[in-house]
Amino acid sequence: MKGCRQKIPHSRLRRHYVTAGYARHPLAADKPAVTVRHAAPGRAAQTPGASLAEESVMSTSPKTALATVLTAAATLIVSLALPAVADTATDERKPLASMRMVMYDVGATPTPVESDLSTKAPVLSKATLECTPDGGTHPTPGDACDSLRAVGGNFDQLPTAPETYCIALYDPVTVVVKGHWQSSPMGPVRPIDFKRTYSNSCQAAVQSDHVFAF
């Protein structure tokens, strides 16, 4: 009928709006809108994602920062303490007592023996002795150091070895010892400067509790 509005079906109406460009994609409403902040002249615009990243960096927990500082301080202390520990370990390996012993054949040459080991008399034998830990070129460093420890490193107080005999032979020898003695790591260091003449090398060994048996 003329003058009456024609009723358009819903499906055709939707197609009409689609044709006219008014319809939106059905999934468009599900996509979040991206807001761009307008920056002042000379500055670039920032997106919300970049702002959140900056805020996360600036919002570091005070406890986390304190833990980082303490960890760095502990690492520094350990690094400074290691050389001291290494030096202590090196010092512990050094013997507390060290000495050089020389036996001269003074019967062959009447020249007297000097305290600084310089002499024209021929050398019969010589050895080094270290105690705590025991060592050196001495043939029995452990027994020799035990004898010295018993008298506190005093060569004048060394006893005569029991049940040991020597032949009655006069062939004098002079034993000279120079070095230092320390009974304990915290004890004083005492210099050693010992010299004595014996009737023969056997008597030197026996009268020194075998310390001079080298």
pLDDT, averaged in runs of 10, over the chain (214 residues):
53 48 48 50 51 50 73 70 48 84 84 52 94 96 97 96 89 96 92 96 96 97
**Alpha-carbon distance 183 to 125, whole Å?**
27
pLDDT at position 159 = 96
DSSP the chain: -TTSPPPPPHHHHHHHHHHHT----TTGGGSPPPP-BPPPTTS--B-HHHHHHHHHHHT--HHHHHHHHHHHHHHHHHHHHHHHHHHHHHHHHS-SEEEEEEEE-TTT--PPPPTTS--SSPEEEEEEEEETTTBSS-SSHHHHHHHHHHTTT-GGGPPPPTT----S----EEEEEEEEE-SSTTSPPEEEEEEEEESSHHHHHHTTTTTT--
pLDDT at position 53 = 47
pLDDT at position 158 = 97
pLDDT at position 88 = 44
**Alpha-carbon distance 121 to 174, whole Å?**
10
pLDDT at position 104 = 94
pLDDT at position 5 = 56
pLDDT at position 135 = 96
Q: List, in order, residues 6 or more apart from 120 with CB less than 8 Å away.
A: 109, 111
pTM assigned to the model = 0.55
